[in-house]
Amino acid sequence: MSDLPRKAVTRTAKLAALPLGFAGRATWGLGKRIGGRSADLVGRELQQRTAEQLFRVLGELKGGAMKFGQALSVFESALPEEIAGPYRAALTKLQEAAPPMPTDTVHKVLAERLGEDWRELFTEFDDKPSAAASIGQVHRAVWHDGREVAVKVQYPGAGAALLSDLSQLGRFARLLGPLIPGMDIKPLISELRDRVSEELDYALEAEAQQAHAEEFADDPDVLVPAVIHQGDQVLVTEWMDGIPLSEVIADGTEEERDRAGQLLARFLFSGTARTGLLHADPHPGNFRLLTGDAPEGPAEKWRLGVLDFGTVDRLPDGLPSTIGTSLRMTLDGEAEAVYELLCEEGFVKESIELDPEAVLDYLLPIIEPAQADAFTFTRSWMRTQAARIADPRSPAYQLGRQLNLPPSYLLIHRVTLSTIGVLCQLGATVRMRDELESWLPGFTPADTSPSVPEQPRSTAEETTA
């Protein structure tokens, strides 16, 4: 696959073939079982073949199909271990790379968006992409002033492909549901579709990235590359080296995993408190562990590099204090107060009446990471939570079906779950309570909002339209 297929009929045919493939494999599996093979063995083969087909197609199509695959990739921790392997291999391929578009297409886009003399802006430009994602790919280059830069080029036709893919995926969302136990696929697809126009707008992305770059300039824990130039369908930012989080997940030391996990949790809460923006695409491909001049440690010198601000939630007042307040009261066992607050915020509809103690019992296992001084996130813990909520025989399942998620919390909820999914992939031990006390409004009784530590500031390169 060398280019983004733009014809709607081509993309629709490929996506429509997925459920047919699932059905065909189910028939194949039945035949194998009739032939005497064990149901467990056949089931594992079925899962593997399904995973391979699904994520091969999603990766080839890029666009909304790949965006959906990347969103799913952070939840592989919830899969039963006996079938997680095939999914893990297929899913993680979507976190870092996709088939690139042809060089002449890249040059054509650059000529159209930066001018026929675009090469004069660079002293070097690598035609081979360093990364390829859902709506664009990144090329390493040297800006005319000598700075190493990342040049993000949007795929031609990406907008139409995104909308077409997500509409098509929405039609058979129920068939995809079993891929991730305990997760409702349809709202995820709807939410991704709602964000399409923002992600395609590189001006909005540049604005969000520059706001973070300026706020975190010289920060000891987080680095965000500054924006150097932004044009329609082209975004030029400072280059950032580092170890992709997917590599830390696969081969990282315990020290690397723990440091990456701590900084990821810190960025989730501090980024919103400090910028009024929530980075809303937390899959491993968007993060780097920066060891700099201390590759052997100490870990306190390592930083987290953050990329891709195409999807953000604008929260000028930071995360809602309701989250911190309800979390604190749940930990304190204040069932009636928690229930009353959830009712006020619309998490419990007026037509429904629940037992406050049952709600508390439902919430406590989920917020276990906030109870301990340090909590080790594991795939087994994630699977336990997913199974508890997904099992129709479980009281948690029955109660969960009666709770409501207000629209204003949809993206916050997905980002939080996704971040927890990545922490479980890392197997990181994280002092989560420290981050909540420092950054989450309402979590500390004495404060209604987090205080932002003084950071050395530097004037970042001004964005050029």
Catalytic: which of 165, 258, 281, 313? 281
Report helix, strand and coil shares of the chain as percent, to nearest 5. 55, 10, 35
Question: What are the DSSP E strand ranges found in 45-147?
Answer: 122-125, 131-132, 136-143
Measuring CA to CA, which residue among 375, 371, 368 is closest to residue 427? 375
CA dist 404 → 34, 194, 327, 364, 417 (Å): 43, 19, 17, 18, 16
Question: What are the DSSP E strand ranges found in 68-216?
Answer: 122-125, 131-132, 136-143, 148-154
Using alpha carbons only, how large is the chain's radius of gyration in Å? 23
Asked if 424 and 377 touch (Cβ cutoff 8 Å), the reply is yes
Three-class secondary structure of residue 282 per DSSP: coil
* Tokens of residue 139, six digits: 């090329």
Distance CA 196, CA 166 (A): 10
Distance CA 95, CA 261 (A): 17
- Per-residue DSSP letter, 318: -
The separation between CA 122 and the C-alpha centre of its own chain, rounded to angstroms, equals 32
- 281 has catalytic annotation: yes
Close Cβ partners of 18 (under 8 Å, ≥ 6 residues apart): 53, 54, 57, 172, 175
Environment class of 89 (CB within 10 Å of its CB; exposed 0-12, middle 13-18, buried 19+): middle
Environment class of 446 (CB within 10 Å of its CB; exposed 0-12, middle 13-18, buried 19+): exposed
CA dist 93 → 68, 103, 154, 247 (Å): 13, 22, 20, 11
Measuring CA to CA, which residue among 4, 3, 464 is closest to residue 234? 464
Distance CA 454, CA 458 (A): 13
User: Residue-wise over 370-409: b if at least 16 C-beta within 10 A, else e?
Assistant: beeeebbbbbebbbebbbbbbeeeeebbebeeeeeeeeeb
Give the residue numbers annotated as catalytic, written as ranges: 281
